[in-house]
Amino acid sequence: MRRIASNFMVGLMLGAVVVAVLPLVFILGDLLVKGAGSLSWSFFTRLPAPAGQSGGGVANAIVGTLIIVGVASLIGLPVGIGAGIFCAEYSGSRLAWLTRFVADVLNGVPSIVVGVFAWTWIVARQKHFSALAGSVALAMLMIPMVLRTTEEMIKLVPRSLREAALALGYPRWRTTLQIVVRTTLPGIVTGSLLAVARIAGETAPLLFTALGSQFFTTDVTQPMAALPLTVFTYATGPYEEWHRFAWGAALVLILVVLALSLLARLATRQRFDLNG
């Protein structure tokens, strides 16, 4: 009887696993089926057609996403990695404690709130929407993630390695950069790529910063199109054609995000290979 109860519970749990994995299968499947049809040469190379007309593409949104995420990484990665190294190297200091605590707080802040912040901080002052404000919002989301992975990775470096370098007369900064950070570089790269993957799909912080645009622009002080915004606008719009485009854009977005995540995993795998 007790054995039956035990098996019954295990069966229930197995069912939970199936139910948990099913949505992923459904979502990826639907994306492939409905998205692949709208992918074409013009989808990647043309600008959006005027509302209600067919044809056109999302070239401006693809370039826009690359620029916005690129600028966000330029801001977010140095700060996140630097702060992460600080927290690991001077882990006893009061600033390290404060920074770690604040990073945890920031990690839980909803992205839409960060968007409102970027709006009052930058957009409201400049009096117009800009891609740069979007990048700042995304960087803000990125920093706590990068910080924590960098710190965790550096803490994994054996003390003996550091001591050996110091004993050889290396100054502390060279020990940290050339020995400690170098050993953990694959881990830091992984953390950074995962953070980039996370923010690449973020929509909420861009709604009233980058805003979206029908035109092609590389000027970060102007409103700019982005793939997640395209998905949102087209999915909630009234036209059949738009819905098809939304699925196509979503498929491209998810492929980029998954590729980044896989790349991130490869970066760490390599480290294990090197270590034997």
Q: Is 241 among the residues that bind other proteins (CB under 8 A)? A: no
Q: Which of 62, 69, 85, 133 binds other proteins (CB under 8 A)?
A: 85
Distances in Å between the Cα of 206 and the Cα atoms of 21, 94, 146, 230, 265 are 30, 34, 20, 11, 28
- Rounded CA-CA distance 77/226 in Å is 21
Q: Which of 38, 67, 119, 213 binds other proteins (CB under 8 A)?
A: 119
At 244, the amino acid letter reads: R
Residue 201: CB minimum distance to other proteins, A: 3
Q: Which of 241, 243, 255, 263 binds other proteins (CB under 8 A)?
A: 243
By CB under 8 A, what part of segment 121-180 binds other proteins?
121, 124, 140, 143-144, 147-149, 152-153, 166, 169-174, 176-177
Stretch that binds other proteins, among 47-55, 63-71, 191-199, 214-222 (CB under 8 A): 191-199
Contact criterion met (CB below 8 Å) for 183 and 161: yes
Q: Which of 24, 92, 272, 274 binds other proteins (CB under 8 A)?
A: 24
Q: Which of 92, 108, 158, 238 binds other proteins (CB under 8 A)?
A: 108
Residue 58: CB minimum distance to other proteins, A: 14
Q: Which of 41, 92, 120, 127 binds other proteins (CB under 8 A)?
A: 120
Secondary structure class of 48 (helix, strand, coil):
strand
Fill in the DSSP letter of residue 53.
Answer: -
By CB under 8 A, what part of segment 35-64 binds other proteins?
none
Q: Taking Cα atoms as reference points, which of 102, 103, 79, 82 lies closest to residue 154?
A: 82
Q: Number of residues interacting with other proteins: please give it, by CB under 8 A.
A: 103
Residue 137, CB-side half-sphere exposure with 13 Å CA sphere: 33
Residue 133: CB minimum distance to other proteins, A: 12
**Token pair in block for residue 47:** 């600008």
- Rounded CA-CA distance 81/59 in Å is 32
Q: Taking Cα atoms as reference points, which of 164, 178, 161, 181 lies closest to residue 89?
A: 181
DSSP string over 108-168: HS-HHHHHHHHIIIIIHHHTS--HHHHHHHHHHHHHHHHHHHHHHHHHTS-HHHHHHHHHT
Q: Which is nearer to other proteins, 41 or 191 (CB)?
A: 191
Q: Which is nearer to other proteins, 13 or 74 (CB)?
A: 13
Stretch that binds other proteins, among 38-46, 48-56, 214-222, 248-256 (CB under 8 A): 248-256
By CB under 8 A, what part of segment 194-233 binds other proteins?
194, 197-198, 200-204, 207-208, 211, 228, 231-232
Q: Which is nearer to other proteins, 1 or 41 (CB)?
A: 1
Residue 47: CB minimum distance to other proteins, A: 21
- Rounded CA-CA distance 194/188 in Å is 10
